[in-house]
Chains A and B, each alone.
Chain A
Amino acid sequence: MNCIALLGQPNSGKSTVFNQLTGSRQHVGNWPGKTVEKTEGNYFFHGTSYTVVDLPGSYGLSGNSDEEIITEQFIKSGEADLVCVLADASQLERSLYMLADFVLMDHPMILLLNMMDVATAQGKQIDDKKLSEKLGIPVLPFTAADGKGFDELKTLIEQEMKAPHRPISKPEIAGTAKANADQILSGVKEKYSWIESLLEGVSKSAGEDYQVKGFDKLLLRPILGKVMTLLVILVGFLAAMFIMAPFMSVAGMLPGLLGKPIADFLTGLHVHPWLVSIFSLLIPNTFYFCISMAAFVFGVNVVFGFLEEIGFLARAAYQFDGALSKLGLQGKAVAPILMGMGCTIGGASGTRVMDNWGQKMLTMMVVWAVPCASIWSVIPVISNMFFPAWGTALVCLGIILYIFVLMFIVSRIFGGKLVSENDRSGMIMELPPYHKAHWKYILKEAWIKCFDMFKRALRTVTLVSIVFWAFSYSSSGNVENSLLYKVGTFIEPVTKFFGMGWRTFMAFITAAFAKEAVLGTLNAVFAGQDTVANIAFNASKAGVDKNALALLMTQTISGAEALAFMFAITFSVPCLMALSTTYKESHSLKWTAKTAGFYIVAALILSCIVYHIALPFLG
């Protein structure tokens, strides 16, 4: 078994090396007994398989966090044949601290000097041969993101497997376990002076003052910086829409193009209408739906991948750390939360940047409170049916204000359990220098995520839409003959209490599958022209006559019910795939269920409150 472990500080490019080595052959699980993520992958080189393990740990190994203990135990277990320690070549002195901690374990290792492109651009010269002589281990200068030197790295790993090297130099420190303050202080001193002696004659630090340059002059200002950050994100969203638009419009043609020929063909074969409807409506619509979702994930990931790589997201985290710490979150959570404004799925998978599981789970729960772009395509339409333009503006404002209330409630209820006092320590983070974007890498990563999303969506959506379709199938085409109608009207006395009649409640349920399905469902239940299933998973709004629907809805339900309904769908479970992604990222069925349960209950309570307050005015 050939096992390589990767170790490096944040921003050392560890995950880039891991992703480039293993491609999509990755497996994410948990370390035994811990809520720390274990990322493993493998690659083949010269016919041999190599396992790569991404070791947890932040800036050093001498703390006593779960991550650091896991890394220490893993190394001591001897499972890893070789450890690749990464250092950022552009900030060598500080980033060698991880190496200074690790050499104490006396294990076969190599050192990768990553981000050589940045170091070279800064005019830094590093004598890697001399460094290698001093350390007694191979040192490889490298730029992981451009994807080039990987053959060299794999060849080096192959050689080291046969003839490993251990470090010949290390800081003079006695045992690091459970050090007291004095021991920590002297240990740290020893480690940095060891690093300084290593770098003597290897690299010269410029020793110049730091100048805030270019874009940073705006971006690091207290108020202007926040405005600029939000503007950049807004432009990012427009770019994401631009990237995904072609995919969505092509996929949008599928139901129209495939539906009728399939239906005609199968009807000609005298297949049962049930099956005709599955193959001509359900399957093309499911495909359309999954492709649009994958395109959404692709667009959001390209944009945020770019913003992360150039170093923008670190600045955004700096700007919003103060606000987020009130929710028990780190500044880093700003990226997933803003991504959630585009797509909750993107936001949930964006929580990967968080330092530990608790922070990650809490961020995901907070991301759910942010209404995604699709909900904003639904709310104004419904609101306009009932209220004048200023009323719609008020509804939107009310929703925006409630986002903050809900975030606060979520952090109050779950924050304490997920993020311990110790992990609440404030921001200590590096602001990396601006980097050039490596587009090939960004696109490759976004593609892997998008394809994974497509596969998962296809499985989940097909399963759920079949169940839903069966519930809402009606032989006469009229909704009143469906099982859904019978269940809906049966529980109506209960749902009425929460402000929703059976029609709006049914749309509330489909909204938890996909927000795009809301208008279609409303059309089906109010106009009764089409079966719910035919429309529910068809993300298109085509075929919904908004004026006719407006007339029917305003005749059937009160303004108070419409208002309660709008709040309920906005703050319920965002969509089926957001749920599935939350499970995939958290690896915890318990917490995924808790999140979904909380949001459903909170949406119903909200709906109840809104309805009963609004009733005297809008009844």
Chain B
Amino acid sequence: MKLSELAANKHGTVKSLGRDEHFLNRISSVGITEGAVFQVVKNDRKMPMLIYVRETLLALNRKDCEKIEVSEVRV
């Protein structure tokens, strides 16, 4: 599923970040990498998503969230 489809307070792991090199460099430098485990903190309509990964709270715009494939992890 897409990251943008995961509701608040769910946990997930990153499956794929796509092939766009510019995006890959940008997104991995803030700690989102394939295999990384994260928590969705906020997922409100028309707002950037808030993701907690590697002890960091990140704001990610929705368009990029649609490019990220994740799968839900039940804790």
Contacts and interface: CB of A to CB of B under 8 A. Distances in A.
B63 interface: yes
B25 A63 contact: yes
Nearest to B63: A426
Interface string B17-51: 10111111111111101110001011011111010
A109 to B, nearest CB: 19
A426 B30 CA distance: 14
Interface stretch (A89-97, A447-455, A486-494, A498-506): A89-97
A319 B27 CA distance: 20
A205 B20 CA distance: 31
A181 B24 contact: yes
Contacts of B50: 220, 318, 431
B51 to A, nearest CB: 9
A195 to B, nearest CB: 9
B55 A184 contact: no
A253 to B, nearest CB: 48
Contacts of A62: 25, 29
Nearest to B11: A209
B57 interface: yes
A428 interface: yes
Nearest to A212: B41
B30 A430 contact: yes
A321 interface: yes
Contacts of A220: 42, 50
B39 A185 contact: no
Contacts of B58: 428-431
Residue from the set B33, B47, B60 with the largest chain A CB neighbour count within 10 Å: B47
Given A60-B25, A209-B39, A220-B42, A427 B48 contact: yes
B74 to A, nearest CB: 13
Contacts of A90: 55
B59 interface: yes
B64 interface: yes
Nearest to B31: A94
Given A63-B29, A210-B52, A428-B58, A222 B24 contact: no
A129 interface: no
B71 to A, nearest CB: 18
Interface in A19-73: 58-60, 62-64
Nearest to A93: B54
B30 A428 contact: yes
A425 interface: yes
A206 interface: yes
Interface of B: 9, 17, 19-31, 33-35, 39, 41-42, 44-48, 50, 52-64
A256 B62 CA distance: 58
Interface string A234-278: 000000000000000000000000000000000000000000000
Contact of A422 (B22, B28, B35, B47): B22
Given A185-B17, A189-B33, 16 more contacts: A58-B29, A64-B25, A91-B56, A180-B21, A181-B19, A181-B20, A222-B47, A318-B47, A319-B47, A321-B59, A322-B47, A426-B60, A426-B64, A430-B57, A430-B59, A431-B58
Given A185-B34, A318-B48, A91 B55 contact: yes
Contact of B59 (A92, A221, A429): A429
Interface in A177-212: 179-181, 184-185, 188-189, 192, 205-206, 209-210, 212
B22 A63 contact: yes
Contacts of B61: 321, 325, 426-428
A426 B46 CA distance: 13
B59 to A, nearest CB: 5
Given A220-B42, A427-B48, A318 B59 contact: yes
B31 A189 contact: no
Interface in A87-137: 90-94, 97
Contact of A60 (B20, B29, B42): B29
A205 B53 CA distance: 11
A212 B64 contact: no
Chain A to chain B: the 5 pairs with minimum beta-carbon distance, closest first: A426-B61, A59-B29, A60-B29, A210-B52, A94-B31
Contacts of A314: 59
Contacts of B24: 181, 184-185, 188
Contact of B56 (A94, A222, A325): A94
A62 B59 CA distance: 21
Nearest to B37: A207
B55 A428 contact: no
Nearest to B55: A91
B30 A59 contact: yes
A426 B29 contact: no
A26 B71 CA distance: 49
Contacts of A431: 50, 57-59
7 contacts: A60-B28, A63-B29, A180-B21, A181-B24, A212-B42, A222-B45, A433-B57
